[in-house]
Amino acid sequence: MVRVRYAPSPTGLQHIGSVRTALFAYLYARSQAGVFLLRIEDTDRERYDEASLQDIYDTFGWLGLRWDEGPDVGGAYGPYVQSERLDIYRRHAARLVDAGFAYYAYDSAQELAAQREASDGKGGYDRRFRDMPEEQLASYRDSGVPAVIRFKTPLDGSTRFDDVVLGQLSWKNEDLPADPVLMKSDGFPTYHLAAVVDDHLMEISHIMRGPEWVPSTPVHVLLYEAFGWEPPVFCHLPLVVGEDGKKLSKRHGATRVLEFRERGYLPEALINYLVRVGWSYDDKQEIFSLEELERIFLLDRINKAPAVFDYQKLEWLNGYYIRECAADSLAQALLPFMQRSGLIADPPDEADIRTVRDAVPLIQERLKYLADAPGLIRFLFEEPDFDPEEMVPKKLDRGETAALLEAVLPLVAQIPDATDEENEERFRAKAAALETRLGNLLMPIRVAITGSRVSPPLFGSIRLLGADSSVRRVQKALQRLKESR
């Protein structure tokens, strides 16, 4: 049975790279009819942050990726929060001490700092308690210095493991961290101990995680050996980098998942994009639904090379999913953005919901992000504010523009009752009669109605706004043109 986990530490907001890891694990579990579980690794009490715990739930709730077992949904292997499993770690650490694989160490913080310094910042540890005779240890034990438990890493030889993506890897044991801490003096385990114990007890079959954990893996392999356990399959995913080949960071663009949400990405687009960050199906297919991915995702298609995060491609996919969206669901997705811009109330009233829904066909093709919508349809909710000069077409002056507007006013009133073709026909005929270009008639109206020279299709916009309001706006604009002459 395939059992995989996503094991975030609540020490920062969900990063797009971590969510890529979670997505791969989720998809692999689904494709194998296995189990995907969430485990909260909250053993670093100094960096623990309540808000980032909530962010885990918000992020995955928004993306629509659900785990089968986890703190919120339960399961037979719980608790799924490491701070609720301290006793388990304590017992396992003691077991290693008893079997001679680990030992108590009584170094003070100052001593450790001095050793770090002496090792040229390499974090070396002199293992002074590793083989200390019992009589000598006793004095430390009685002195009240808080003890930690350290793991005895072998002094020579090497440790190897197979990785699904990276192949066979081998480490000289002398290059491993010298006797890393397993249990801290505050009674909390370190990542190494907690992850290994939990992965074993939770019967994790495949460890899928980011490449930054590769150097920890030989220590884990040694821990599995010390416990006498079979290690799971390791699968380290490729690094996510920016266009410059450097690890993806704020410098490249948004990296927090909820930032993408705020900018108006659809979860489907983000998921579809993320799956291609380090995985490919046949090098051609770009569009994948979650359902399809849940069937076809396999580990042998994961690339080894760092995966470049391409914001433009993501933007393109977002536009694609926005265009594919059913009008009602798109309208629904736009409401929070309209609310955030203060254009509609929270909760929205019926009339506003209808307006947004009716505006969807006008803007669906032009939206790159949901957050573009308020700017495009603001004019439907409030009178536009603009400089009358904006209405004046090139090569015309204010007087000429005013005269044209006056001449087309009757046509504006008729727009809502006619088709786009009829309207176009009428305006063309009018332009010919006035010996001017069609654009010279439409542009001032567009500015008068929407406040901008670029807007959703004009006739449709006027139809939505209604004849009365539209005529009033054109009249008012005309007035302003005349006054400011």
Q: Which stretch binds ligand GLU (CB under 6 A): 2-10, 110-118, 336-344, 426-434?
A: 2-10
Pick the stretch among 1-9, 166-174, 359-367, 372-380 that binds ligand GLU (CB under 6 A): 1-9
User: 70, 63, 59: which is closest to 15 by C-alpha?
Assistant: 59
Check residue 224 for interaction with ligand GLU (CB under 6 A).
no
Asked if 41 interacts with ligand GLU (CB under 6 A), we say: yes
Spatial separation of the C-alpha atoms in residues 23 and 274, rounded to whole Å: 8
**Interface map 161-200 toward ligand GLU (x if CB under 6 A):** ----------------------------------x-----
Task: Check residue 279 and report its DSSP letter.
Answer: B
Cα separation of 25 and 437, whole Å? Answer: 60
Nearest alpha-carbon partner for 277 in 65, 31, 27: 27
CB nearer to ligand GLU: give 236 or 463. 236
Helical (H) or strand (E) element with 12: none
| DSSP-derived 3-state class of residue 454 | coil
Site for ligand GLU in 109-138 (CB under 6 A): none
Nearer to ligand GLU, 194 or 362 (CB): 194
Distance, CA of 2 to CA of 328 (rounded, Å): 38
In the residue annotation, 250 being an active-site residue is answered as yes
- Write the binding mask 204 to 223 for ligand GLU: x where contact by CB under 6 A, - elsewhere: -----x---x----------
Strand, helix or coil at 241? Answer: strand
Beta carbons within 10 angstroms of residue 89's beta carbon: 23
CA atoms within 13 A on the CB side of 168: 4
CB closer to ligand GLU out of 6 and 103: 6
H or E element at residue 6? strand 3-6
Q: Give, to the nearest 10 degrees, the angle between helix 458-465 and helix 467-483.
A: 110
In the chain, the N- to C-terminal Cα span, in Å, equals 80
The residue count for binding ligand GLU (CB under 6 A) is: 7
Q: Which stretch binds ligand GLU (CB under 6 A): 4-12, 324-332, 349-357, 452-460?
A: 4-12
Of the residues 246, 247, 250, 304, only one is catalytic, namely 250
Tokens 């785990």, residue located = 67
Question: Least separation, in Å, of the C-beta of 300 and ligand GLU?
Answer: 21
Q: Locate tokens 């002094």: which residue? A: 155
Q: Which part of the chain contacts ligand GLU (CB under 6 A), choosing from 7-15, 87-95, 275-283, 469-477?
A: 7-15
Out of 4, 7, 415, 448, the residue judged to bind ligand GLU by CB under 6 A: 7
Among 9, 423, 450, 470, which residue sits at the site for ligand GLU (rule: CB under 6 A)? 9
Considering only 8, 189, 211, 264, the residue that binds ligand GLU (CB under 6 A) is 8
Query: Which range in 6-14, 268-276, 310-318, 366-374 contacts ligand GLU by CB under 6 A?
Result: 6-14
Reduced to 3 states (helix: H, G, I; strand: E, B; else coil), residue 399 is helix
Residues near ligand GLU, by CB under 6 A = 7-9, 41, 195, 209, 213
State the catalytic residues.
Answer: 250
